[in-house]
Structure 1
Amino acid sequence: MSLDADALVDRRRMRRKLTFWRVLAVLVAVAGVVAVATALRGRADLGFGGPGSAQIARVSIKGVIRNDQDRVEALERLAKSRAARAVIVHIDSPGGTTAGSEQLHTALRKVAETKPTVVVVDGMAASGGYIAAMAADHIVAQGNSIVGSIGVLFQYPNVADLMKTIGIKLEEVKSSPLKAAPNGFEPTSPEARAAIAALVADSYDWFRGMVKERRGIDGELLARVTDGRVFTGRQGVELKLVDAIGTEETAVAWLAKQKGIDPKLPVRDWKLEARLGDLSFLHLGSTALAEAVGLGPLARALVGTGTIQSFERLSLDGLLALWHPAASD
């Protein structure tokens, strides 16, 4: 009987050792890949077939746009790359914060000033997504892509009536009536509403001015395309928001005809997401690590679902250049 007990203890001890070494192996592997990725990050030709190899860079802008300094730095490297002869920017975005969209537009303009740049609208380039698209000198969209939604909004929930119903009152002392206004815990005063309206109007004028300058639209047509509505790619061509209907092949043909770029050059992805937390190998490594310690189902659930992304819009602060019809249009 004692021999059986000793064997059971030895077996458990071996299992613990095996788990330890598995976890250690995963950690070493992930650390090694992180080290390699970090070393490659500083290379000007990251994402290409090799230094000095002529190519067309493909940049992808997807999802909600926020301020992103890593993306700006990646675009700065692209602007200086000797390998990239031209740039094709794929956009599929409903927009995001006005400041983030402005930052992205500025970074893309720096690229366009050094290399022929064309935008391809995949699903949509609405609101802030269209701000980004205007950085290029040529915009291609599919016939049923969505473009436009030229406008700015400022949203905030107001729970004043709810607080009154449940008997909660917010007490505050502030330096002036417009400090931290509106706050959502009390009815918005006319003065606060006027201040926010002036803020929105100023950003809207900036947005309209960009459309006028970059797309050469003025007068009644400018008023029509900047009233906040969205358009299909086909409508966008008629309204001068889009230059041509097509896909990446159309963009390559334009680069060849108008900019003298060799159409046989390979099109290579230029990675904008340089943050280590966004790299897929870390997701895989984390999942493998969790598997080793018995938490595989939880890791797969976190990596495989869009739970985190579902909260994206809730974390956007300030002025928005964002198209989301379920809430506003």
Structure 2
Amino acid sequence: MTIRAEDLIDRRRLRRKLTFWRVAALAVAAAGVLALALWFYREDMGGSAVDHIAKVKIEGTITEDEELIGRLEKIRESKSVKGVILTIDSPGGTTAGGESIYDEVRKLAGDKPVVAQVGTLAASAGYMIASAADHIVARKSSIVGSIGVLIQFPDVTGLMEKVGVKLEEVKSSPLKAEPSPFNPTTDEERDMVRKLILDSYDWFVGIVAERRSMTRPQVLALADGSIFTGRQALTNKLIDAVGGEQEAIDWLATKGVDEKLKVVEWKNTESRGGFLFSKALTQTIAKALGLPEYSGDLARELGMDRLFLDGLVSVWHP
């Protein structure tokens, strides 16, 4: 059968049209998949475009955490976030670290309702951060409190004598670089350190009194380093209610936040620990040690991060 030139041209035109629409359909599908992936990725990052309640986990040893502070600032600036739940499970940490996060939470609470939900533990700097929220919820068996500040330093002079090591030093004044683990502590050094501790302790007591609407004598009666169960903390007005996340959501509802909104966790997306503590490696080691396989930071799981706390610390067990 002979194909006319006109038919051949028509077929070629049809093929070009079909090719164009196939490519266009594939492009649209790819764009849709990409948009969906980005949406899920954005949601996983905590940056959901729809209205939601933001959840931030504050766990482990407290230090000055620029990533966390930046995350709280983004939450404050997000128009999609209608309320915030701080999930706290921490024994405390450095006093300066607790202060920096406390200040950022107060800024956040100036724009959005913030509730702290205590898990197992919110002690010392962990409780300091919880007190920055507008409302605190804890389990009946949670551990709360340990209001106070300390400095600890070893005395290795006995060990030095046994191994035959002697320290020689020349310094500008007697209190320079003191107290030192290489010299017995003098009364003057203890007095200097005590003044340092009491100044930060005074500040800590002051913010608890302010945030919990208590008198200073009331706080001082509790701020002897004691820890309390959630039920005891409620009686002592250190928390506002017992319960968990649902009770936190219920309180947000009293502040005009729709209780049906989805709770979206804003996660830490920065890698931590470098090559030695990479996620894949730490998961393998954690499994061998019997630790949770989801561990992303082996040092924190082992408690090693507390070994390197320096300066004033507000922590239950250093």
Task: Tell me the TM-score range normalised by the shorter chain.
Answer: 0.7 to 0.9
Bigger drift between 62-71 and 309-318 goes to 309-318
In structure 1, the residue matched to 2:246 is 249
Alpha-carbon separation, structure 1, partners of 2:177 and 2:63: 22
CA–CA distance in structure 2, aligned partners of residues 196 and 229 of structure 1 = 22
Q: 1:44 to 1:84 in 2, by over 3 A?
A: farther
What is the distance in 2 between the residues matched to 1:198 and 1:95?
21
- Unaligned 5+ residue runs, structure 1? 1-39, 288-295
Which residue in the other structure is 1:275 paired with?
A: 270
Unaligned runs of 5+ in 2: 1-37
CA contact (8 A) 1:90 1:121 kept: yes
For 1:94, the equivalent position in structure 2 comes to 91
Structure 1 length as normaliser, TM-score? 0.76
Asked if 1:224 corresponds to 2:221, the answer is yes
Asked whether the equivalents of residues 45 and 83 of structure 1 are also in contact (C-alpha less than 8 Å), the reply is no
The 1:249–1:298 alpha-carbon spacing in structure 2 relative to 1, beyond 3 Å, is closer
Counterpart of 2:198, as a letter, is A
Q: Which amino acid aligns with 2:271?
A: L
In structure 2, what is the equivalent of residue 113 of structure 1?
A: 110
1:313 maps to which residue?
306
Please list, as runs of the form range in 1=range in 2, the aligned pairs for 1:130-145 lying within 5 A after superposition: 130-145=127-142
Name the amino acid aligned to 2:165: I
1: distance between equivalents of 2:240 and 2:231? 10
The alignment partner of 1:73 has SS state of helix
The SS at the match of 1:170 is: coil
State the aligned residue count: 271
Corresponding residue number in structure 2 for 1:16: none
Structure 1 counterpart of 2:207: 210
Q: 1:141 to 1:184 in 2, by over 3 A?
A: same
Q: What is the match of residue 33 of structure 1? A: none
Q: Secondary structure at the match of 1:253?
A: helix
Give 1:167 deviation, angstroms.
Answer: 1.8
Match 2:163 to one of 166, 171, 189: 166
2:90 and 2:121 in contact (8 A); partners too: yes
Higher Cα radius of gyration: 2
Tell me which amino acid in the other structure corresponds to 1:122. G
Letter aligned with residue 259 of structure 2: P
How big is the shift at 1:165?
A: 2.3
Shift, 1:48, TM fit: 3.5
Compute the TM-score of the two structures, normalised by the length of structure 2. Answer: 0.79
Residue identity in the other structure for 1:167: G
Q: Distance in 1 between matches of 2:106 and 2:43?
A: 19
What secondary structure, in the 3-state scheme, does the structure 2 residue paired with 1:59 have?
strand
Match of 1:95, SS? strand
Following TM superposition, by how much is the alpha carbon of 1:220 offset from its aligned partner in structure 2, in angstroms?
3.9
Match of 1:266 in 2: 262
Q: Secondary structure at the match of 2:61?
A: coil
Deviation at 1:308? Answer: 2.4
Q: Give percent identity, aligned residues only.
A: 47
Partner of 2:152: 155
Is the 1:44–1:77 Cα contact (8 Å) retained in structure 2? Answer: no
Residue 197 (structure 2) aligned to one of 197, 200, 212: 200
Provide closer, same or farther for how the CA distance between residues 44 and 68 of structure 1 changes in structure 2, counting only shifts above 3 A: farther
Q: How far apart, in 2, do the equivalents of 1:300 and 1:109 lie? A: 39
How far does residue 277 in structure 1 lie from its aligned partner after superposition?
Answer: 2.8
Alignment partner, residue 291 of structure 1 = none
CA shift, 1:175, in A, is 1.1
Moved over 6 A (4+): 43-46, 296-300
- Give 1:139's aligned amino acid: I
Structure 1 position 45, deviation (Å): 7.4
Alignment match, 2:31: none
CA root-mean-square deviation: 2.6
Matched, 1:47 2:49: no
Residues 1:146 and 1:299: Cα distance change in structure 2 (over 3 Å): closer
Amino acid at match of 2:76: A
Describe the shift of the 1:179–1:46 C-alpha distance in structure 2 as closer, same or farther (beyond 3 A).
Answer: farther
Distance 2:279 2:121 in 1: 28
- Equivalent residues of 1:147, 1:230 under 8 A apart: yes
Tell me if 1:237 matches 2:234.
yes
Deviation at 1:260? Answer: 1.1
- 1:27-51 CA-to-partner distances (Å, cap 9, x unmatched) read xxxxxxxxxxxxx9xx997724632
SS at match of 1:64: strand
Q: Report the Cα offset of residue 219 of structure 1.
A: 4.8
Q: Residues 219 and 213 of structure 1: is their aligned pair in 2 closer, same or farther, counting only changes over 3 Å?
A: closer
Whole-angstrom distance in 2 between the partners of 1:121 and 1:57 = 16
CA distance in 2, matches of 1:156, 1:162: 15
Letter of the aligned partner of 1:283 in structure 2? K
Question: Cα deviations across residues 211-248 of structure 1 (Å, max 9, x unaligned)?
Answer: 11111111542222111100011011111100000111
